[in-house]
Every structure is written in structure tokens, then in C-alpha cells.
A and B are shown apart, each in its own frame.
Chain A
Amino acid sequence: MQINSYSPFLPGYLDRNENISDIPKETDVAIIGGGLLGTALAYYLAKLGVEVTLLERNDLNREASGTNAGSFHFQIALHQLTKNISGAEEKRLSDEVRLQLDAAILWDNLEKELEADLGVHFTGGFMVAETQEELKVLREKQSIENKAGLETHVLTGDEMRSFAPYLAPDLSGIAYCPREGHANPLLVGPTYAFRAMEMGAKIRTGCEVQKIEIIDSALSRQFKLHTSKGMIGCKRVVNASGAWTAELSMQLGINLPMGLSGLHVNVTEPREFFLKSMVQHIGRRLTLKQTANNTFIIGGGWPSRPEKFPNRYSNYWASAAGNTAVAVRVLPMLKDVRLLRVWSGVWAYTKDFKPILGESVKVPGYHVAMVPTGFTLGPMVAKILAEYMHSPANKNIIPKEFSVDR
């Protein structure tokens, strides 16, 4: 990794290169949270000429945005599926695939847009099936994906074994999506922040929003944010605080349909590079990939133990044991590779797995930006929200089912 080439994007750099002794007294839009969503939103708003200030209590990109594995999930995955795919389900899944396709196009152009190396690579992705029933699901999802415009292939038998000889030879089948890939999660958020700042956005770290106060006059509504660095007044607020989104919204009597879960990730020692594509499982919790450092990252939704902020979620041994068993089953060579460390991040999900995006009807001026598959979809939903906030008359930009008040 070439550190010198992107040192300006390191967390902490912004503090030391801007006068941060105080925060502005007034701003049009105040964004709470300096993760991928917050920084991307700051960028797209600033680009549209909207006055914006981002407030982050810690350093940028330190929670889920910087602790995820950086994978693009464009195929339909296990968590999107219900037991039986009915007609209504098919419609929902098609919508989700289309959204994922839009995200794919955005990622395709992002390095050019931000004029930076973000480690974006389209290396393809596998979805494996162990049983005949799982293979059936692969075929069903393939037909939905292809109809929605996402290219996927299902391979079985010798065709599968010659295409991916390193995978367990007795898998019932694999789906392959050429468009899937990854970016470096350590770079994307900070780069958005850096470019946003260049376009006039104000970014303040070490600034915790403690209380949101609404001040209504006859003519207009104002928000007053009480922060650890003093008061800031704004016309509009965006809550993009990831796992803490619901906590803050409660202050305004808004009950968001979301929950939190700690996710467990395993990292191994390096081995000679061979696994170009990410591997997922259609029936078990698994994401597996070999990184640019030649280590293997194994995750996929195994839980970790909640801890109070600022402590990081701690790990369950059972998650390591179960998660690596699925990985070794799918990629047998892993049994002779050593586990070096584990980590965990907080995953914020919605009960229907759809993003929460837009302005609250109950509390006009208050916006929420939260998305369960945050890395893949984050930049795109931030862009959609920025367009809406730039011209709020255009209400149809944001799909209804993303509603804040649902």
C-alpha cells in the first residue's frame, strides 16, 4: 500500500489542516456523522452548491464505513431472500437488483469523479450452492437478475470445476456475476470528505451532537444543534450517524424501524494470490475474499457481542468456529492457513432491509440517511438524497418505501 500517495486522505489530516477551533454559527444543511454516507452526502451537496457542514464526534470513517470489507454486493444475497420466491417477492427483488445496478454504475465512475485511486476493482463474484435446493434458488435468482439487467451465470459440474478449480469440487453449483468487486473502505469516505472540503463543505471532527432542538417561528423552522464544540444553527439536518441513527431520532419522537447487530470478521495470514473473486454462499452466512495484501477476509454475518460506545464490539469464539467452518467447506485449501486476528463492526439494519432515506413528514427539515448494505449502496443513496435536498420539489426521486416515517 502506497501511503504517501494518499496521506491527505488520512483521518485526522483534516483537523490539522483547517482551523477547527470553532464550528460555524449557521449553516443551511448540517450532517451528523462522518462515515461513508455523511461524507458522500457532503460532497454531492457541496457540488450542487448547497451550504453544508458535517459534524463527526470521532475521526472520519472510523465505524462501519471503515471496518467493513469493501465488497460490492450486486447479486441477490441470502439476506434478501424469503423462504419461497412469490410474485410479489419477485417484484421486490427486481427493484432491489435495479438499485444495485445503479450503484454498480456509480462505482464504475467514482475514481474518475473523485480523481483518486480508491482501490476500485471489478473482479467478479461467486455465489455458491451446496444442496440441490440451493442450486434451485441460484437459478431462480439468476432469472430475476437477468430480467432486471444484471449479468449472472450459473455453472455446475465439470464446467464449475474448471472455472473455479480451487472451490470444493462437490458444490452443487455456483453463480458468477462479472460486475461484482470491491474498493478500499479506508479510502472512499475520507476522499469524499477531502473533495467536499475543496468545494466549500465544512468538515468538523471531534464534534459530538448531543441535542437537537427545533425552533419554529411564524415564517420558518430552524434547528439548533447542541454540540461538544458549541451551538450551530441550521435550516436542515441530516442524520447519517449509522448505528446511532435511531438513538438521535428518538429525541424528536421519530421511531426508526432499525436494529443493530455486531458482525464478526476473520483475517488470515497471506498466501500466494489466486482468489480473484469474492465468494458468497446462497444458504449459509459467508463472504470470503483474498485481499491485495494476499490475506483472506472471512465474514458474512456472524454475530459479535455488543459493547457500549466507545468500546468496540467484542467477538464470540463460536462465530469464528462456525464462520471458518463454512469457509473451509467452500474453499478447502483454507484449512492449512492460519487465522491471525478477528475484528468486528456494528451493522445497522432495517427490518425490511430497505434504506431509510429522505425528509421526515412528521418533522419537516429533519432528514435521515441510513442503508443496511451501506458500502455498496451508500454513495448512491447519498447522491439521491443530495439531489432531493437541492430541489425538494422533486419528491419522486426517493422511492416511497424508503420513507423515514414508515
Chain B
Amino acid sequence: MREFDLVIIGGGPAGISAATTAALYNIKVALLDERSSLGGQIYKRVGPGFSVKNSKQLGNDYLRGEKLIEALTQTSATIILETTVLAIEDSQVVITTASNRYEYIKFKKLLITPGAYDRPVVFPGWTLPGVITAGAAQSLIKTQWVVPGSKIFFAGSGPLALAFPAQLSKLGANIIGIIEAAPRPGLFKSLKIASALNQNFDLIFDAIKYQFHLIKNRIKLRYGRIIIRANGVNKLESITYAKVDKYWRPIPGTEKTVIADTLCLGYGFFPSVELFKLVQCELSYDENRGGTTVKLDQWGATSIPHVFGAGDGTGVSGSYVAILNGKLSAFKILCELNVITEAELLIVSKSTRKAVRQRQKFQSAINSAYSIKPGIYELADENTIICRCESVTLKDLNPVINSTSDVSVVKSYSRCGMGLCQGRNCQRQISALIAKRHDINIGDIPGSTPRFPAKPVLLGQIADDTVLEEKYFIDAD
């Protein structure tokens, strides 16, 4: 069994920065990632078979990622790619690499940096081919150089609603329109963001660049509008949007239909908390950081000893905060492993802690300016599929939701969340439906019982003839 002082799950900004920081102190570090290259979503590398001649053309994020990954590869950290974490048990992580049999990896400290998912938004037609998330579009472009569709409409909210279409258009994509659900930022909001600006000029500079690009290319960004329908028979043919009130509920009579072959959705992110749930970390709820988050102290320690978290998977705060938090966790872990003293910890982490505070202030100003409103969960009609794995419509689901507020019961009777995505797509929508029907706060609805595998895995990869029941079964005597 391989053993490490620190095992880090997830090779995005937080994981890379933590691994680099810790490995410089000569402890045994392993960094695991599902993909064949590091970088996570934001610094995603080009796919196998592609080569980059001039990385400058790929934008600032690519360059930032390249620098970070390079720094890591100069350390002693072990990088284990194409690896899926299936379970975490005591001080072991159960993984499978490529198509191999499962394997245990032992850790003294565990840092989980799983990142975030695109928020799935359910509305009539959302399952039509041609409707994709911003993350999926980004992956297609970053790894395969494929721009999806020839008439792309972007619907979303948050800073990405500005940045992403601009990036896409720069690469030659035909963006025919952008809608943002939040109202046009007024003076007050802009001041609030500006007041948190201290040291965050790079982000604002990016935003100005994106805005400028959109204006130059005459791409119209409409505020205060939400997607309400995707139309088409077997694929997307057009989309319908409408003006919204302050709860993001569509205002009747304001619908507008636009011909499009691709609808790209970017309504923010939600943290991937599955692994934190599996180790039974205490959770909390923060709609502005994506919903269910994990409770952390200032160093990123969870409620479970030896288990830490950093990055968007612990609450969405962006890559800059992720890098800093990854570093802080690494410092604290070094201290707990007696590599550095308490006093040293406070000194080496001082500037990072200060930077985190500034970044977080800025990020929360942005997040609250674009916070999600309840209307986003109310777009489905009776025949809209809520759980796409099991094809469960709202009509199927209603009698169950009427009879219980227990997510596990809803799951077993409706089969919502029983499919291949393990509930990642529908769980939030179901919680929202329960919250509305039973007048409960969405944050107070407990999720279903956490169970492995964290990702589906072939039985051939986990079946193990060396495990015999005699050793484990409790004898009836």
C-alpha cells in the first residue's frame, strides 16, 4: 500500500498550490486527479494529441495555470493522474487508476479540493441536445478546440456571464446574444464592489477587457432576463427568454424567442461536497457560495480530524481564493505534522492570510451582487423532466413531494437521483421543490445519506477475491 504524509484530492488551483507548498518542506505528498493532466476546470490543459505552440494565445488563465503546474513539477510531490477516488475510509483513500483494480492509499493528512459543478437549471426543454452548460462548452474548447454550434446563445448570471461569452467570441464563436438574470449593476453595487477592490485590480482589469470585447463585437448583453424554454423537436431550434422580477420570476408578456442551435447555461456553480459528506464532515449552507458547503476553520480544517478542504468545492470563491486557501491548509498541515512550529506557522502564513481576507471581501461583494433567486427553481412545467437519468417528470414527482419532506423517501419512491449522475443534476431542484411545498428553508433540508462510490465504477474494478466473508461477518453465536 502506498503511504503519504499528505494526500490531496483534486489537481485544480487549490490542490496544486497546496501540493507545491507542502512538498517544498520535504514531506511525502500525493496529488490525485481524475483527468490526464492537472489544472482543474479553470486551468484545463489541451487534450491528448494536441500541442500548444504559443501558450499566450490561450489566454491569461492558461498562462497562470502553466506557471503553477510548472512550479509543482519541480517539487518532490507524486502526481497520480487518471485516478478516481471511490471512497474514504479511516486513514485510507480508495482509488482506481485508469481501468485498474481498486487500490488503497494511506494518508496522515487529507486535503480535499474537489472543485465545483455548473448549477443545473431545469426548465422546459433543458434536456434537448444543443443545451449545454458553460463548463461543458469550456471543456470542449479548452481540450478539443471545438466550438459547439454556430449560433450560440448564452443565458446565465454572475461574472462568468460576461467573461465566458467574451472568451468564446474571441476564439471565433458566433455569440448571438447574452442574458443576465440580475439587473444591470447600479451605482450602489458598483461602489460596493469597488470598495472591496483593494489589491484585486487584476480581476477588474479582466472584466473591463471582456466588456470592451463584447462592445467591439456588438454582442448585446441584456440584464434582468432569464431563460424560460428551449424549443425544438429532437434538437435545439430556438430559445425563449423573459424579463424577471426581483425574485427572478418571469414577467408574463415579456417573452421573446430567438433562433439558436446552442444554448449555453452559466447560472453559477455549486460545490462538489460528496467526498466531505462521505467522511461525515459538518456542512453548512450559503446560497452565495453555491449552496451546501463544508464548515471550515480559517486554516481549512473540517470538523473531522486530519481532513482539510480548500477551493471552490468548499464554497465557490474563485481560483484566486482557492490558491491562497490551498496554501494556508498546507501550512497548517505542516504544523500539525510538526514540520513547522506554531510560531513559524503564523509567520509564514501571514501574507497569505492577509491576501485571503482581501480576496474574500471582493468575492463576497461580487457574489451578493449576483446571488441566485428562487425563481430559478420554478421554471419547470408538469411535463419537464426533473431527473434526466431516470426520466422522472415534475408530474411524477408531485405526489411524492406532497406526501413527504424527506429527501431519502422522495428518492426511493420517485427514483429521482438513483441514476448514473448519482443525483448531482437533480438534488438541488428536488430540495427546492420540497422547500416550497412544505415551507421549509432550502438550507435546512438534509441531503440523502452519503454513500460510496463517489463516482460509478465497474464491478470488475472493485471485485476482490481476496476478501472473504469469514473475516468480516459477525457470527450469530
Which residues of A pack against B, CB within 8 Å? 1, 3-4, 7, 10-13, 16, 59, 62, 66, 79, 186, 259, 261, 267-269, 284-285, 293, 295, 301-303, 312, 314-322, 324-325, 327-329, 334-343, 349, 351, 353
Question: Cα distance A318–B404 when bound, in Å?
Answer: 34
A13-B403, A66-B412 as given contacts; A324 in contact with B473, CB under 8 Å: no
Q: Please indicate the chain B residues that have their CB under 8 angstroms from the CB of A321 in the complex.
A: 102, 462-464, 467
Partner of A3, one of B396, B418, B458: B396
Q: Please indicate the chain A residues that have their CB under 8 angstroms from the CB of B418 in the complex.
A: 267, 293, 295, 340-341
Q: Please indicate the chain A residues that have their CB under 8 angstroms from the CB of B89 in the complex.
A: 316-317
B476 within 8 A of A: yes
27 contacts between A and B (CB under 8 A): A1-B414, A3-B414, A4-B396, A7-B399, A10-B403, A11-B409, A12-B404, A12-B409, A186-B413, A267-B418, A269-B419, A293-B415, A312-B449, A320-B452, A320-B462, A321-B464, A325-B463, A325-B467, A335-B459, A338-B456, A338-B457, A338-B458, A340-B456, A341-B418, A341-B453, A351-B477, A353-B476
Partner of B415, one of A1, A327, A351: A1
8 closest cross-chain pairs (CB), A and B: A335-B460, A322-B467, A12-B404, A7-B399, A321-B464, A325-B463, A10-B403, A338-B456
Minimum C-beta distance from A363 to chain B (A) = 26
Q: Please indicate the chain A residues that have their CB under 8 angstroms from the CB of B87 in the complex.
A: 317
**Besides the known contacts A312-B449, A320-B453, 19 further A-B residue pairs in the complex with CB atoms under 8 A apart:** A3-B413, A7-B399, A10-B400, A12-B403, A62-B409, A261-B474, A285-B469, A301-B469, A315-B452, A321-B467, A322-B472, A328-B463, A329-B465, A337-B458, A339-B459, A339-B462, A341-B452, A342-B452, A353-B476
Which secondary structure dominates chain A's binding surface? mixed
Question: Cα distance A328–B459 when bound, in Å?
Answer: 8
Minimum C-beta distance from A243 to chain B (A) = 14
Which residues of B pack against A, CB within 8 Å? 86-87, 89, 94, 102, 280, 390, 396-397, 399-400, 402-406, 409, 412-415, 418-420, 422, 449, 451-453, 456-460, 462-465, 467-469, 472-474, 476-477
Q: Please indicate the chain A residues that have their CB under 8 angstroms from the CB of B460 in the complex.
A: 328, 334-336
Question: Cα distance A1–B397 when bound, in Å?
Answer: 11
Q: Please indicate the chain A residues that have their CB under 8 angstroms from the CB of B453 in the complex.
A: 320, 339-342
A317-B89, A335-B459 as given contacts; A7 in contact with B464, CB under 8 Å: no
Q: In the bound complex, do residue A337 and residue B469 qualify as a contact, i.e. CB atoms below 8 Å apart?
A: no
Chain A CB within 10 Å — which of B86, B400, B413, B453 has the most?
Answer: B413
- CB closest residue in chain A, given B87: A317
Q: In the bound complex, do residue A317 and residue B452 qualify as a contact, i.e. CB atoms below 8 Å apart?
A: yes
Q: In the bound complex, do residue A340 and residue B458 qualify as a contact, i.e. CB atoms below 8 Å apart?
A: no
Partner of B400, one of A7, A79, A329, A343: A7
Q: In the bound complex, do residue A285 and residue B473 qualify as a contact, i.e. CB atoms below 8 Å apart?
A: yes
Q: Please indicate the chain B residues that have their CB under 8 angstroms from the CB of A339 in the complex.
A: 453, 456-459, 462
Question: Cα distance A178–B457 when bound, in Å?
Answer: 33
Partner of B458, one of A59, A66, A335, A349: A335
Q: Please indicate the chain B residues that have their CB under 8 angstroms from the CB of A337 in the complex.
A: 458-459
Q: Please indicate the chain A residues that have their CB under 8 angstroms from the CB of B477 in the complex.
A: 351
Q: In the bound complex, do residue B403 and residue A16 qualify as a contact, i.e. CB atoms below 8 Å apart?
A: yes
Question: Cα distance A315–B450 when bound, in Å?
Answer: 10
- CB closest residue in chain B, given A79: B476
Q: Please indicate the chain A residues that have their CB under 8 angstroms from the CB of B462 in the complex.
A: 320-321, 324, 339
Q: In the bound complex, do residue A324 and residue B459 qualify as a contact, i.e. CB atoms below 8 Å apart?
A: yes
Question: Cα distance A351–B475 when bound, in Å?
Answer: 9
Q: Please indicate the chain A residues that have their CB under 8 angstroms from the CB of B472 in the complex.
A: 302-303, 316, 318-319, 322
Minimum C-beta distance from B365 to chain A (A) = 39
Q: Please indicate the chain A residues that have their CB under 8 angstroms from the CB of B405 in the complex.
A: 12
Question: Cα distance A1–B472 when bound, in Å?
Answer: 36
Q: In the bound complex, do residue B474 and residue A340 qualify as a contact, i.e. CB atoms below 8 Å apart?
A: no
A259-B474, A319-B472, A325-B463 as given contacts; A3 in contact with B400, CB under 8 Å: yes
Minimum C-beta distance from A351 to chain B (A) = 6
Q: Please indicate the chain A residues that have their CB under 8 angstroms from the CB of B476 in the complex.
A: 79, 259, 349, 351, 353
Question: Cα distance A11–B403 when bound, in Å?
Answer: 7
Question: Cα distance A188–B280 when bound, in Å?
Answer: 32
Q: Please indicate the chain B residues that have their CB under 8 angstroms from the CB of A351 in the complex.
A: 476-477
A301-B473, A322-B467 as given contacts; A10 in contact with B413, CB under 8 Å: yes
Q: Please indicate the chain B residues that have their CB under 8 angstroms from the CB of A261 in the complex.
A: 474
- CB closest residue in chain B, given A298: B459
- CB closest residue in chain B, given A307: B280
Question: Cα distance A315–B94 when bound, in Å?
Answer: 13
Q: Please indicate the chain A residues that have their CB under 8 angstroms from the CB of B399 in the complex.
A: 3-4, 7, 10
Minimum C-beta distance from B257 to chain A (A) = 33
A59-B404, A315-B451 as given contacts; A324 in contact with B463, CB under 8 Å: yes
Q: In the bound complex, do residue B452 and residue A10 qualify as a contact, i.e. CB atoms below 8 Å apart?
A: no
Question: Cα distance A314–B463 when bound, in Å?
Answer: 19
Minimum C-beta distance from A264 to chain B (A) = 9
A7-B399, A13-B403 as given contacts; A334 in contact with B414, CB under 8 Å: no
A7-B400, A11-B409, A301-B473 as given contacts; A334 in contact with B459, CB under 8 Å: yes
Minimum C-beta distance from B423 to chain A (A) = 9
Q: In the bound complex, do residue B474 and residue A12 qualify as a contact, i.e. CB atoms below 8 Å apart?
A: no
- CB closest residue in chain A, given B101: A321
